[in-house]
Amino acid sequence: MEREEITYPLGNSDFLRVLTNSFKEFIEKGTSRSTAKLKPLHGAIARDLAEKLGRDYTVFSQGYGIGKETKIRGRYVNKAVDITVKKGERAVAGLAVKFVMQNYSQNSNNYFENMLGETANIRCGNCPYFQIFIILDKLPYYQRSGELSRWETFTAHNAEKYVTLSQDDASIYFHTPNKTLIYVVHIPDNDSLSTSREYMDYYRRLNPSLSLTEHDYNDFGNGVIFNDYELFIEKVYHTIMAL
């Protein structure tokens, strides 16, 4: 499938093209376990941040620089982080990235609880930590057999826990990320698909571009930025530069 051309610095339209490329990698590999979809996504964010920060900083990530993650020293355990920013030998920020494309409901609470735990571990180790959570607004739910048993929608109810998180004071609650980006995107629907193979084959042929969701969600507080990558990355940049 043809890949979208990316320009830097990343604006919101560029970020959608990055997500489109990530989705196409996922479709081509045909499995959610492949790390291929992570490289265009993590690598693009890492490059964008590196170009903003300049030569005094080094950014580690799949798909950028040396092409691999590095660990941040946590309060309890050291953690390999999706994107790590270092100044010299010292980690000055970490970013975790999650892009959910299928079977959301069975993992929803695990995603959220794991996010809280890893954030607390890193932030209690005196390193700022940021979260990016990306999800399709309508996504397939598969049985182990590969049968597409139903379609799931990311609803305002699903977003409620992130609304509560957005109202937390990050200076008090160390399980709260310094800032969280929630990005909800859409691909053209096709309710006639009935298996994982049909889903992959259909979207390979369609070669779609992702767009922002048109669904309405509850208003988020200051801790969460909704569907605005440019604002989020500016917050990350200014947090790092203020250290």
* C-alpha closest to that of 177 among 118, 241, 243: 118
Question: Is 6 among the domain residues?
Answer: no
Q: What is the pLDDT of residue 37?
A: 82
Q: Tens digits of per-residue pLDDT, 89-135?
A: 999 999 999 999 999 999 999 999 999 999 999 999 999 999 999 99
Question: Is 45 among the domain residues?
Answer: yes
Question: Is 35 among the domain residues?
Answer: yes
- What backbone phi and psi angles, to 5 degrees, belong to 37? -70, -20
What is the rounded distance in angstroms from the CA atom of residue 195 to the CA atom of residue 201? 10
**137 pLDDT exceeds 70?**
yes
Q: Give the number of other CB atoms < 10 A from CB of residue 167.
A: 12
Which residue type sits at 167?
A: Q
Question: Is 2 among the domain residues?
Answer: no
Q: What is the pLDDT of residue 29?
A: 84
Range of the domain at 122: 12-241
What is the rounded distance in angstroms from the CA atom of residue 106 to the CA atom of residue 129? 26
* C-alpha closest to that of 226 among 209, 239, 213, 237: 213
241: Cα within 13 Å, side-chain hemisphere: 12
**141 pLDDT exceeds 70?**
yes
What is the rounded distance in angstroms from the CA atom of residue 133 to the CA atom of residue 61? 17
Q: What is the pLDDT of residue 1?
A: 80
**72 pLDDT exceeds 70?**
yes
Question: Is 114 among the domain residues?
Answer: yes
Number of structural domains, the chain?
Answer: 1
Q: Alpha carbon 29 to chain centroid distance?
A: 19
Exposed / middle / buried, residue 22 (Cβ in 10 Å: 0-12, 13-18, 19+): buried
Q: Evaluate whether 70 touches 60 at the Cβ level (below 8 Å).
A: yes
Q: Identify the three-state secondary structure at position 135.
A: strand
Question: Is 1 among the domain residues?
Answer: no
Question: Is 7 among the domain residues?
Answer: no
What is the rounded distance in angstroms from the CA atom of residue 48 to the CA atom of residue 43? 9
Q: Tens digits of per-residue pLDDT, 178-210?
A: 999 999 999 999 999 999 999 999 999 999 999
pTM: 0.96
Q: Tens digits of per-residue pLDDT, 5-61?
A: 999 999 999 999 999 999 999 999 876 566 778 999 999 999 999 999 999 999 999
| 32: its two tokens | 């959610």
Q: What is the pLDDT of residue 229?
A: 98
Q: What is the pLDDT of residue 35?
A: 76
Question: Is 4 among the domain residues?
Answer: no
**166 pLDDT exceeds 90?**
yes
